[in-house]
Amino acid sequence: MTLSGAKIGGIFWLILVLAVIKLAIYIYFKFKKAAYQTRLILLAGSILSLGIIAYQSIKVMLFPDIPFYIPSALINFRIKPGAWGTLAGLAMILASAPHMKAPRKDKIEIEKSETG
């Protein structure tokens, strides 16, 4: 029997909600040309998501909630491709968010003089 994060349910749905919120906030600030302001939101959301994954993974490994008896030698824990993609995406956010910088003031002044 295989259990995925969606089948386990519960708090794993929060990871999807956090991803949608982070994407919406990033798009909003990107159109305002202030994407650098989303750094802390992206970092906090990613750290929270990784914490949820780690907590639930440890919980499932130590206390499997299986409705019938299975010897512990037969219980196997593995990360499936979708989870690897999620972890890779969170790692990319954690690696790139601190490098988002505010635009230089001289560049903003040049853009204003060209458009106005």
Q: What is the rounded distance in angstroms from the CA atom of residue 105 to the CA atom of residue 102?
A: 9
Q: How confident is the model at residue 110 (pLDDT cuts 50, 70, 90)?
A: low
Domain of residue 59: give its range.
5-115
- 13-51 pLDDT, tens digit per residue, is 788 888 888 889 888 888 887 877 888 888 888 888 888
pTM above 0.75, yes or no: no
Q: What is the distance between the alpha carbons of residues 28 and 63, in angstroms, rounded to a whole number?
A: 41
Q: What is the mean pLDDT of the chain?
A: 75
pLDDT confidence band for 61 (50 / 70 / 90): confident
- DSSP annotation of 13 reads H
pLDDT tens digits, residue range 65-81?
A: 666 666 666 666 677 77
Give how many domains the chain has, as a whole number.
1
